[in-house]
Amino acid sequence: MQNDSDRFFVLTGGPGSGKTTLIEALRTEGFATAPEAGRGIIRDQMAIGGAALPWQDRARFAELMLSWELRSWHAAHGETGPVFFDRGAPDTIGYLRLCGLPVPDHVANAARKFRYARRVFVAPPWPEIFAQDEERKQTLDEAERTFRSVTGVYAQLGYELVTLPLVSVEERMRFVLEQVRLRQA
């Protein structure tokens, strides 16, 4: 019998590499999606004057990211088909490592316990589309280091990394759907 989380597909990588645009395109096509934790947390924390922001309290920000990802993972079980995640629980480890912060045991345990499909899609750094904004304050250098950090975590956890091509969102979506065998070429 197939594990239910085998239909949970993660898209990860550094900031500004087109992940969220691809997730939105998949959502528009009718697929279930889980939004990125980071942007949602930043928006909420800014709205309430909270300190769990990557430029104020990175450890607290990471705890909220993990909580968001676990909630998304549980909510995905209510969907009947494939679910595409804009990042997953292992990204929290990548973030903590990137920041030079210790990875608490509960965070490592969560990444091992709450699994996704073996094949993880990775958006590589893409300088031509990278842009900073109110919520994305990272530089391109930090985005590239984030990419290396999160992909290293997924590889260590035994996931198969599939690099997304640097092509239009429509072509990227077709690539992903072919890879997960939801559409033929």
pLDDT value, residue 1: 29
Q: Backbone dihedral region of 131: left (phi > 0), alpha (psi from -120 to 50 degrees) or beta?
A: beta
Q: What is the mean pLDDT of the chain?
A: 90
Q: All domains of the chain, ordered by start, with CATH?
A: 4-179 (3.40.50.300)
Please say if the pLDDT value at position 185 is more than 50. no
**pLDDT category, 41, cuts 50, 70, 90?**
very high
User: Could you give the CA distance from residue 134 to residue 1 in angstroms, rounded to a whole number?
Assistant: 45
pTM assigned to the model: 0.90
pLDDT tier, 137 (very low <50, low <70, confident <90, very high otherwise): low
pLDDT tens for each residue of 117-135: 999 999 988 766 656 566 5
3-state SS, one letter per residue, for 135-162: CCCCCHHHHHHHHHHHHHHHHHCCCEEE
Q: φ, ψ for residue 94 (rounded to 5)?
A: -60, -40
Answer whether 89's CB lies under 8 Å from 69's CB.
yes
